[in-house]
Structure 1
Amino acid sequence: MNISDAAYAVAHDYPGGCESLAPRMGMSANILRNKVNPNNTTHHLTLAEAVRMSQITGDARIAKAIAEELGYTLVETPRVEDCNDAAIVEMMGKAWETHGDVGKEICKTLDDGRVELKEVDRVESRIFTHAQVLFTLAARLRGMAN
C-alpha cells in the first residue's frame, strides 16, 4: 500500500470515518477528507498530522507504508508485560506460519515458469511480514533480558 492510500484508509476506516476522527485532530471533517484524498492537489496532510492521526486511531499503516517505500521493515516495540514465555511461543508459531507463507508465494510465482513484477511484489510483501515477526520475536526476548 502506498503512503497516500494508507492515509486515506486510516482516516476512512476509523469508526465514524472522517466525521469522527477530524474533531479529535482539531479540524473539520471536510478538511481531513481533502487532506487524505490522494487526488486532491490543494490540501496536504502534514507529517505531524499523520503521526497524530496514527496515534489517535492506533493504526500504523502510514508508518508501515513509509517504511516499505524506503525498503525498511517496521517493528512494533513490545510492552514489557508482553515479554513472557507464552508470548515467545506465540511468536514462534507466527514465525513458522509467515515462513510458510513466503514459501507458498514463491511456489505460486514459479508455478507457470514466468516471474512477473506483481508476483515479486507479493513475495516481497510476505518476506517483509516474516521479517517483522522475527524482529518482534527478538524484541520480546530482549524485553525479557535482565
Structure 2
Amino acid sequence: MNVTDAAYDTVHEYPGGSESLAPRMSKGMSAATLRAKVNPNTDRNLLSLQEADELMGKAGDYRILHALAAAHGFVLQRVDAPDSGSMIGALLTAAAGHGDLSQVIAEALADGKVTPNEADEIGRVCAQVQAAIAQVGQHADAAAERGGV
C-alpha cells in the first residue's frame, strides 16, 4: 500500500469517516478539507507531515507510517516502554526469542526449501526478537534515568 492510499483509508475507514475525525484535528479542519487532503486524485491541498502525524494519533491507525517505512525498505514493530521487569529479564526474553527463531529457521530448512508461509513465520519471529532486544535497550535507558538498576 502506498502512502496516499494509506492516508485515504485511514480517514475513510475511521468510524464516522471524515465527519467525525476532522473535528478532532487541532486546527479545526472541516470534513471536506480533510477528505480533499487525502484524495488520491488531486495534488492540491495535501496532508502535511504534522497533519499526518496528528491524524495517525487521533485515529489510532498507523498504516501511513507503515506505508512510508515500506516505501523506503523498512518495517516497523511497536515496542512498548518497559513498565515492569528488569533488564536481565528482558535480556533472557530476547535470548529465548533467538532460540525460537533458530527453531523456526531449522524447521523451514528441513526439507531444503522455504515456503511463503515459512518465510512469513520467520519474518514474524524476527520482528518479535527485534522488539525483545529493543526492550533491553529501553530497560537500560530507564535504569540510567533512575541512576541505578
TM range (shorter): 0.5 to 0.7
Superposition deviation, residue 53 in structure 1: 0.4
Superposition deviation, residue 11 in structure 1: 1.0
TM-score, scaled relative to structure 1: 0.66
1:32 maps to: 34
1:61 maps to: 63
2:52 maps to: 50
TM-score, scaled relative to structure 2: 0.65
* In the alignment, structure 1 residue 107 sits paired with structure 2 residue 115: yes
Superposition deviation, residue 78 in structure 1: 1.1
| Structure 2 CA distance for aligned equivalents of residues 77 and 35 of structure 1 | 30
1:132 maps to: 127
Superposition deviation, residue 34 in structure 1: 1.1
Identity of aligned residues (%): 37
Superposition deviation, residue 107 in structure 1: 1.9
Over aligned residue pairs, what C-alpha RMSD do you find? 3.1
Larger radius of gyration: 2
Uncovered stretches (5+) of structure 2, i.e. residues with no partner: 109-113, 141-148
Uncovered stretches (5+) of structure 1, i.e. residues with no partner: 110-122
| Structure 1 CA distance for aligned equivalents of residues 39 and 84 of structure 2 | 37
Residue correspondences, number: 122
